[in-house]
Chains A and B, each alone.
Chain A
Amino acid sequence: MLNTALVEQFLRTGRVMDILFLIFVWLFVIYYITKAGRGAQLPKIRRIAAIDAIREGVGRAVEIRKPVHWSFGNAGAYVTDQNVSETLAGLGVMSYTVGLCARLGARFIFHMPGNPEAIPILEGTVLEAYSKEGKLEEFDRRRDLRYYGSGMMVFTAALAQSFMTEGVAMKIMMGRQPTCMYVALEAAKLQGAIVIGGTARWTAMYSFVLTCDYLFIGEEVFAAGAYVTGNPYMISSLASEEMAKYACIGILALGIVLSLANINFAALMKN
């Protein structure tokens, strides 16, 4: 259907559909960002219960004088590959949590993942949140930042130890997780903590379903990352995600119609 030889002079083989889809999403991202820039009304985002629960958890931490623990998993803060989005979304929620802790006076402990290259952005986000609340002096790196390397079960054991010795009022875990982070989540639960978390890495989702009081399911992680910032550009660009989803359902419907008309949909999509 397509003049492949002609297209391949300008584009790599099998990338036509990719570029069309990307342009489609990109146009909507730019459209909504521009719209937000003009001060247009932001799209309404449905409530994500886990976000409300974070405020409740921080309040509880102040009440019972136990810390809030945050982690990204043993190596969950990827910045150099396709998992970077999950890190950025997690950082958005972390910034919100740290801000609440600083404002209400709860102690925040951050068990950093074993990705050393991510440390600048991880620590930077914590500093930024404290500084926004004007309480930078309350943040002590040596006291509140922990590092154990990236060994999976070494990390879970170290977390469990920290929960037992220092106490835990709320445990939040986001970022790309392996399934064995279940041990850390359950250890927090057994210590009586409110457990909140979620991941877009579907294989590990069960750990959260079984242990968390409040969940971010799959893509909710990304939506939450934008939502909590209150940044109009980020919230408004969420609408472009919805457009992409409509497009996916549309392509599915189109595929069914074309296949019924005996047109080879799979071959068309290979372009």
Chain B
Amino acid sequence: MSTTIRRDLPILLLAIVGFLYVAEWFFGGNVIPQLSTFKGLMGTMVSVIAWTAVGVGTIYGISSEYYLVRRNRNWQQYVTSGSMFLMMIIMAIIWIWQWSGPGRAVGYAFQSPEWRWWLMNVYSNQTQAQYAIMFLYQCGAVYRVLRVRSMETTVFTLAGLAFILKSIPLFLTVPGVSEIGDWVQGAPTLGGTRAATLTASLGALVIGLRALVGKEQTTIEVK
């Protein structure tokens, strides 16, 4: 009984929803419109389920941070974790305070000057700084990895270089740079990308079919 409720019924539920989706792809629209209606409704319902579950993640996030504080009772940890909790409280206060108001839409908080201040100055700059760090990291990789050591790294270096030169205004004045870059982008890259996408789709497709017939282990044996 326990196995039926805990394992078999969820798998059955998965298969029913999955098969209805597959059926809609082929027989929805004008043939059996109810299937399309079902899919439309189910799509939004699944979104609502996912949105509602957002708190689960937050609970996990808070509890692991709290655990860190309890394990490392030193001022540095208090400052680090404290800054996270404080930030959460500040944003929650702004959100509740600015949720809506006379003449404003519900959810106005995200457009309010207070929320925007944190978004545009704190979050946005942290994110841009990480992208900038990504560039510096990549400079390290350019120097370390892009060497003509093997067939693969040679192709990688030459193709990458062709595209970089083509993207830099200064080098476009050199004859041939633009044409070589265009060719690399338009022929070998397109072919490679096309095949990689195609094979990955086939792999994804087989996993989907396996899950539909209840033979995908990761969906079966979940505690």
Contact = CB atoms under 8 A, between A and B. Distances in A.
Interface of A: 8-13, 15, 18-19, 25-26, 29-30, 33, 80, 82-86, 88-89, 91-92, 95, 112, 114-117, 119-121, 124-125, 127-128, 131, 141-143, 145-149, 151-154, 156-157, 180, 182-183, 186-187, 200, 202, 205, 209-211, 217-219, 221-223, 225-226, 229, 231, 233-234, 237-238, 240-241, 244-245, 248
Interface residues of B, number: 62
Contacts of B211: 84, 88
Given A10-B31, A116-B57, A219 B130 contact: no
Contact of B200 (A210, A218, A237): A218
Given A145-B64, A202-B200, A229-B217, A117 B206 contact: no
A182 B132 CA distance: 12
B213 A29 contact: yes
Contacts of A219: 196, 199-200, 202-203
Contact of B126 (A119, A154, A229): A154
Q: Which 9 A-B pairs have the closest CB atoms?
A: A222-B203, A153-B130, A124-B222, A85-B204, A147-B61, A117-B50, A142-B67, A200-B200, A85-B207
A240 B206 contact: yes
A147 B126 contact: no
B174 to A, nearest CB: 25
B100 interface: no
A18 B162 CA distance: 38
A234 B64 contact: no
B147 interface: no
Contacts of A205: 196
Q: Majority SS of interface residues in chain A?
A: helix
Nearest to A144: B64
Nearest to A113: B57
30 contacts: A13-B29, A15-B26, A25-B202, A80-B47, A84-B208, A84-B211, A85-B204, A89-B207, A92-B218, A115-B50, A116-B50, A119-B60, A128-B222, A131-B223, A147-B57, A157-B126, A157-B130, A180-B130, A186-B137, A186-B140, A186-B141, A202-B200, A219-B196, A219-B199, A221-B200, A229-B217, A231-B217, A238-B206, A240-B206, A244-B202
Nearest to A237: B210
A200 B204 contact: yes
Contacts, number: 200
Given A218-B196, A245-B199, A147 B141 contact: no
Contacts of B50: 80, 115-117
Nearest to A234: B217
B27 interface: yes
A248 B131 contact: no
A145 B30 CA distance: 47
B27 A11 contact: yes
Contacts of A127: 223
| B27, B46, B47, B206 pick with most chain A CB within 10 angstroms | B206
A125 B223 CA distance: 7
Contact of B26 (A12, A148, A229, A237): A12
Given A92-B217, A128-B223, A143 B210 contact: no
Interface string B101-126: 00000000000000000000001001
